[in-house]
Structure 1
């Protein structure tokens, strides 16, 4: 027996220290509810858990973004619904002005209402906003450009591949109101190169001063090009005759494919949805020069309003498709978040029942270690009995 160095007490103290550390760790887990409190508890699990947690929080924000996108669509669609009603009223007025029982004086009264309705369409397009951003004035429509001052890309469908397209030659003649004579249009589209007009592309329709280039073999392909007439010093349209048409050569169309409102609907880079909101204007709808001042113009106006209604219907149809997609996206995000949260919980959360059992066991062992340390500390005193 020795009194200078109490080895037994050191052994008992080391055991007590280890048990106390285990007890502290168990208390920390029980009090926090986490299985991995510090990186040392499970380095790989900590790295995986934090990455999953970032994705879970990102999915939550993406779901909110998708809801905001639906709000944008509902705002735009609500305004377009009113434009639809206005066009229906204009159609009724044009049909009314087309009948022979109406005099030109009567038509002038109808003309006044038509003009007011046209101004209201313009006001709706300029004033419809979401979070301070104007939606219907073309800010969020796909952009396109040309190399000719007299030609402008108006609209192109989502199926048009971005790139440079070339119209080799284009000839048109204009009426006095600036609209194109449909029978005068001659257009040669370049079908070579990448990208290029699909074979068979041609002008399928003329609305006002806009020509629509489509391909019978590819229904998703459509490009609308506006042609501006020449004007005199007073700003009046210079009418052109079939013998002297307006001719444009090598018209390059730069189809950018950009301009839509990009919504982040996922937690990772590139998980976006581009929401295209069509430009709403009298020019785009082909009713800028609409008039019912006489019977002939009123009859022509019926066809123009019909085209405008189709234009608005197509715009609303696209927005509706976006909204349906976003609703599915939100449902998918919610399910993904639910499953990832369950996986994250399995990695990070402690099993309270199991940990409480562990805590109780360690507590008993720690008490035993404390008792043995007390016994070991008393052993050197027993040596004094030998010295009596």
Structure 2
């Protein structure tokens, strides 16, 4: 019988400490609702969950980014709706002016309204903004540069035109609007590319949605066009680098629509105006269709991102969250063991007292 080393008490105390640690950990899990409260709880699990939390936050922001992009497109489309109405009114006026029952004074009065509508279209182009960014002045359009703006200007390209260098040879231009300009297609264009002309306005089309349009000015000259990927609005609609979509909104004003010089007071002016306004209306409608496609894509992106985020949340929950029923059972077990160990330790501490009986 020993009194310096009460091994029974030491053993009971060690078990009590371990049980109390288990009870403390169980209480922490029950109170926090988390299975992993410290890295030591699950080293691999906490590493995985931290990465997933970063993804979840990024997905949530990407969804908001896509919604902001939708707002930009809706703003631009709303402005283009008014442009459409103004073009339709101008066309109505041009049809009215084409009737020979009008006097010179009547035509001048009609032209006054047409001029005012042209000015308003240009104002809409420069004043339509979202978060101080102008939307319809070409700021958000793919940039194409001409080596000589005196030869070729007012260039627009479709989204499907590849970045690169294209060469145009201007053979002839028109000065009175009665003939069409002509070009030779040089380097950069494929053998299947074709061009059409309406006055000095040239449109080049090819397979796979290739379309490029411009105004040619000087005959017997060559211009090199550099198509870049600059200017488009890039929307980050994913949680990782490179998960984005480019939105291109072309310049919409009287010059880009080729209606800036409409004049119904001159001979054949009304008839020419009708044709030009039809083309302008078609271009605005095509632009609105493209914006509609962007908007639909972004709507689907938001739905996809939200579903992705929901699934990620569910996955993190399976890694981090505690099973309350199972943990409550564990807590009850450890609590009972703690009480039992406390009782046994009390009895073990009484064993050395028996030595006193030998000393009496």
- Is TM (by shorter chain) over 0.5? yes
1:3 and 1:153 mapped to 2: Cα distance? 103
Aligned with 2:182 (options 186, 198, 208): 186
SS at match of 1:273: strand
Deviation at 1:280, TM superposition (A): 1.0
Find the counterpart in structure 2 of residue 154 from structure 1: 155
d(CA) in 2 for partners of 1:170, 1:202 = 15
1:239 is matched with which residue? none
Q: Within 2, Cα distance between the matches of 1:186 and 1:300? A: 20
Pairing 1:203–2:175 present: no
Q: What is the match of residue 145 of structure 1?
A: 145
Shift of 1:200: 3.0
The answer on whether the counterparts of 2:234 and 2:247 sit within 8 Å (CA) in structure 1 is yes
How far does the alpha carbon of each residue in 1:193-240 deviate from its partner, in whole angstroms, 9 at most, with x for none? xxx212132321325x4311123xx151111122245xxxxxxxxxxx
Matches of 1:219 and 1:348 in 2, distance apart?
49
Distance 1:320 1:133 in 2: 20
Q: Measure, in 1, the Cα distance between the counterparts of 2:74 and 2:182.
A: 41
Return the offset for 1:153: 5.4
Q: Per-residue CA shift, 1:144-171, capped at 9, x if unaligned?
A: 002113123511111111111122x212
Answering whether residue 10 of structure 2 is matched by residue 38 of structure 1, we say: no
Please state if 1:353 is matched with 2:325: yes
| Equivalent residue, structure 2, for 1:223 | 212
| Equivalence for 2:77 | 77
- Tell me the C-alpha RMSD between the 2 structures: 1.4
Determine which of 318, 326, 331 is the counterpart of 2:290: 318
2:118 is matched with which residue? 118
Q: Is the 8 A contact 2:141 2:251 kept in 1?
A: yes
Stretch moving more, 5-14 or 196-205: 196-205
Count of residues in Structure 1 that have an aligned counterpart in Structure 2: 359
Q: Deviations over 1:51-73 (max 9, x none)?
A: 11111111111111111111111
Deviation per CA, 1:95-136, whole angstroms, max 9, x where unpaired?
110111112221000000000000000111111111111111
Helix, strand or coil at the partner of 1:280 = coil
TM-superposed CA distance for 1:295, in Å, is 4.3
Which position in structure 1 is the counterpart of 2:307? 335
1:214 corresponds to: 205
- TM-score relative to the length of structure 1: 0.90
Query: Matched residues in 2 for 1:356 and 1:83: separation?
Result: 67
- Which whole-Å CA distance do the structure 2 matches of 1:293 and 1:379 have between them? 122
Is the Cα contact below 8 Å between 1:262 and 1:273 reproduced in 2? yes
Alignment deviations for residues 74-95 of structure 1 (CA, whole Å, 9 cap, x no partner)? 1110000000000000000001
Q: Does the 8 Å contact 1:141/1:277 carry over to 2?
A: yes
Q: Structure 2: which 5+ residue stretches go unaligned?
A: none
Higher mean C-alpha displacement, 378-387 vs 151-160: 151-160
CA distance in 1, matches of 2:129, 2:147: 32
Equivalent in the alignment of 1:301? 273
Q: Is the 8 A contact 2:136 2:252 kept in 1?
A: yes
Tell me which residue corresponds to 1:26: 26
Where does structure 1 lack aligned partners over 5 or more consecutive residues? 230-245
- The answer to whether the Cα contact below 8 Å between 1:98 and 1:295 also exists between their aligned partners in 2 is no
User: Is the 8 Å Cα contact of residues 204 and 213 (structure 1) preserved in structure 2?
Assistant: yes
Q: How far does residue 14 in structure 1 lie from its aligned partner after superposition?
A: 0.9
Name the SS of the counterpart of 1:155 in structure 2: strand
CA distance 1:349–1:293, shift in 2 (3 Å): same
